[in-house]
Amino acid sequence: MILDAKIPEGPIEKKWTSFKNNAKLISPANKRKFKVIVVGTGLAGASASATLAELGYEVETFCFHDSPRRAHSIAAQGGINAAKNYQNDGDSIWRLFYDTVKGGDFRAREANVYRLAEVSGSIIDECVSQGVPFAREYGGELANRSFGGAQVSRTFYAKGQTGQQLLLGAYSAISAQIGLGRVKMHENSEMLDLVLVDGHAKGIVTRNLLTGEISTHAADTVLLCTGGYSNVYYLSTNARGSNVTATWRAYKRGAGFANPCYTQIHPTCIPVAGDYQSKLTLMSESLRNDGRVWVPKAKGDTRAPQEIPEEERDYYLERKYPSYGNLAPRDIASRSAKEVCDEGRGVGPGGLGVYLDLTGAIKRLGEKTIRERYGNLFEMYQNITGENAYERPMRIYPAVHYTMGGLWVDYNLMSNIPGLHVLGEANFSDHGANRLGASALMQGLADGYFVIPYTLGEYLSTQFGKKVSTDMPEFKKTEEEVRARVEKLLAVKGNVPVDEFHRQLGLIIWDECGMARSEAGLKKAIVDIRALRERFWKEVAIPGEGAELNQSLERAGRVADFLEFGELMCIDALTREESCGGHFRVEHQTPEGEALRNDDKFAEVYAWMFQGEGNAPDLVREPLHYEAVHLATRSYK
């Protein structure tokens, strides 16, 4: 099998323009005839639904939440990047492109990233016109701040609630279309399988979470906008409901799963406090604009941070990476935190924490300014830890936050299953092995507002006269398979709560496929995951029935998929015998402990293909060609 990325010819600056000039158009009269299913209503799903409906397509959108406004994009804090250069500080499309490719440790697809940078400016225009209340300067201009991995200020923000405001913008756009009858919205509907007709994605099977009703839905194409799989770690900054089920089910129907081992560990989260904990909370990276990260120079120093004099503190990011300092990219900042904690210099309970100190900034700028910039974060911190960060530095530690891997897509955002498009965090294409801060919001909205409306015609123009309906045997068969899986879960009747399996899976993956990975560890993890999976299917407890709201059943279905997916993640990490970005194999590091890539062997996308239950997956490689940027060792020194 060959994966053709369908990258347009020509120099990188011209590819997207030349694509658009030659793209297949669908006339307004024909758009009405095509039905599009969108799964998920985060930034990618809501923006795609609204935009495709505006264009005249018939759109049906599904989300498992009670309202499209609840999708987890809402929790993004810091901001959204765009190459507007409003600050006159030397930014450009090229720089945003280059920073993103370099930030991704040269494992992203160049052409996709350039397009992302190219449309970034339009996203800001679009959002402002929807009424997104971005932060402003006194004269009324838009304000910007800096984020990790960049030396310019290109991040637009709305307090510490940028994701909320962007999502509510997209939600208002989809709401307008629902009101007009152009989007049919199905809330409380979880996608449990993908339906293929003659090898093309033509529909989905869903379970209504309130009634338990299982139903099928047909369309001309399916868009998965279902987010990432961070919750395979159990503890992550993702919402409790975020899951891998939709993309995993698509994988089991033949879609390639690309680079599943590329996960992002965010450096600034509130440390884990106990095993009762249900999730981790992020403290926005934007705090690193004004905050300084440090630990005591001496091991086991238990003094209160205020009592440790300046000369006995190690501002390790500033020391190791003088030119980027506290704004070093996420993977590097996380690894450095782990390093100092491994040395025994960590702070707080268990020694798993470092200080993020804004006391200097408070002195310099005044508490009022800091309160204005980060007030909600300080409040959140106090709520969770009971500590006042205006008086003493925050304690932070890395936590799983985002997943760069996802379903393989070509330049048109279509997977190797014809008709299956994948947008936002659910696909793999733009962030390589590490995502830069404020780029997830950019990618989700770019895919939905400005990419898929142009690329969808490439597929749909081949589908005239190929209507399918849910009466077809393919739909009935898939529906029966879904029913059988639900019954199978309910039939286990064990006595161990779902959360227990999820927590154990999380510990295995965090220990062996987290911030540091080794051959022996990954091999052990695979064995442990298999054993855990076996136990799950014998012992899981799911009280209640299928035909009602049953939250244990919902969670069990998701955890069952995580238990399969976790194994693939470890297989991918084991096969990628190099370190790059967030994927750090301890066998492959420089003498200074930095990630050591092996470009000769691994400048490739690894797409895994399902080969049936119990069989090893097939690996298909897509070579990455760097024409515009030179492969270089990433340096932030």
**Residues 520-559 within binding reach of another protein (CB under 8 A):** 541, 543-544, 548-549, 551-552
Cα-Cα-Cα-Cα dihedral sign, residues 125, 127, 131, 135 = negative
C-alpha span between 183 and 269 (Å, rounded): 37
> Which residue in 205, 182, 212, 246 sits closest to 44, CA to CA?
246
Q: Decide: is 168 part of the binding site for another protein (CB under 8 A).
A: yes
Binding mask 491-510 for another protein (x = CB under 8 A): ----xxx-xx----------
| Residue from the set 7, 92, 98, 142 that interacts with another protein by CB under 8 A | 142
Options 65-73, 284-292, 518-526, 570-578: segment touching another protein (CB under 8 A)? 65-73
Q: Decide: is 26 part of the binding site for another protein (CB under 8 A).
A: no
Options 165-173, 289-297, 396-404, 574-582: segment touching another protein (CB under 8 A)? 165-173
Smallest distance from the beta carbon of 413 to another protein, in angstroms?
16
The two tokens of residue 44 are 């990618």
Smallest distance from the beta carbon of 172 to another protein, in angstroms?
4
Nearer to another protein (CB atom), residue 137 or residue 587: 137
C-alpha span between 284 and 383 (Å, rounded): 16
Nearer to another protein (CB atom), residue 118 or residue 126: 126
Indicate the helix (H) or strand (E) that contains 357.
strand 354-357
- The count of other CB atoms within 10 Å of the CB of residue 33 is 17
> Which residue in 224, 223, 219, 194 sits closest to 206, CA to CA?
194
Q: Which of residues 34-63 bind another protein (CB under 8 A)?
A: 47, 50-51, 54
Q: Which of residues 95-134 bind another protein (CB under 8 A)?
A: 121-122, 124-131, 133-134
| Residue from the set 21, 27, 278, 302 that interacts with another protein by CB under 8 A | 278
Angle at 546 between CA 540 and CA 549, to 5 degrees: 100
Q: Decide: is 350 part of the binding site for another protein (CB under 8 A).
A: no
Strands 420-422 and 221-224, by their bridges, are parallel
Distance of CA 358 to the CA centre of its chain: 28
> Which residue in 398, 401, 149 sits closest to 264, CA to CA?
401
At residue 184, the 3 state secondary structure works out as strand
Nearer to another protein (CB atom), residue 472 or residue 496: 496
Q: Decide: is 277 part of the binding site for another protein (CB under 8 A).
A: yes
Q: Decide: is 379 part of the binding site for another protein (CB under 8 A).
A: yes
Smallest distance from the beta carbon of 269 to another protein, in angstroms?
11
The two tokens of residue 186 are 């199905």
- The count of other CB atoms within 10 Å of the CB of residue 79 is 29
- The count of other CB atoms within 10 Å of the CB of residue 576 is 23
Nearer to another protein (CB atom), residue 141 or residue 519: 141
User: What does residue 578 show for φ and ψ, rounded to 5 degrees?
Assistant: -160, 170
C-alpha span between 417 and 3 (Å, rounded): 11
What is the gyration radius of the CA atoms in the chain, in angstroms? Answer: 24
Could you say which of 154, 330, 373, 517 is catalytic? 330
Smallest distance from the beta carbon of 195 to another protein, in angstroms?
27
Q: Which of residues 187-206 bind another protein (CB under 8 A)?
A: 187
Cβ atoms of 269 and 397 closer than 8 Å: yes
Binding mask 235-254 for another protein (x = CB under 8 A): ----xxx-------------
Binding mask 412-451 for another protein (x = CB under 8 A): -------------------------------------xx-
Q: Decide: is 234 part of the binding site for another protein (CB under 8 A).
A: no
The two tokens of residue 206 are 């869903």
Q: Decide: is 288 part of the binding site for another protein (CB under 8 A).
A: no
At residue 620, the 3 state secondary structure works out as strand
Smallest distance from the beta carbon of 627 to another protein, in angstroms?
29
What's the CA dihedral at 240, 208, 567, 76 to 10 degrees?
A: -30
Q: Decide: is 226 part of the binding site for another protein (CB under 8 A).
A: no
| Residue from the set 11, 14, 25, 67 that interacts with another protein by CB under 8 A | 67
Q: Decide: is 609 part of the binding site for another protein (CB under 8 A).
A: no
Smallest distance from the beta carbon of 167 to another protein, in angstroms?
9
Q: Decide: is 233 part of the binding site for another protein (CB under 8 A).
A: no
Q: What number of chain residues touch another protein (CB under 8 A)?
A: 82
Q: Decide: is 161 part of the binding site for another protein (CB under 8 A).
A: yes
| Residue from the set 87, 151, 172, 518 that interacts with another protein by CB under 8 A | 172
Nearer to another protein (CB atom), residue 316 or residue 381: 381
The two tokens of residue 29 are 């009269």
- Annotation says 330 is catalytic: yes
Smallest distance from the beta carbon of 245 to another protein, in angstroms?
15
Q: In what order do the strands lie in the sheet with 406-407?
A: 406-407, 257-258, 604-609, 618-623
Q: Which of residues 69-98 bind another protein (CB under 8 A)?
A: 69-70, 72, 74-75, 84, 86
Smallest distance from the beta carbon of 318 to another protein, in angstroms?
29
Residues forming beta bridges with residue 328, ordered by sequence position: none
Angle at 186 between CA 40 and CA 36, to 5 degrees: 65
Residues forming beta bridges with residue 264, ordered by sequence position: 402
Strands 58-62 and 35-39, by their bridges, are parallel
Give the residue numbers annotated as catalytic, written as ranges. Answer: 330
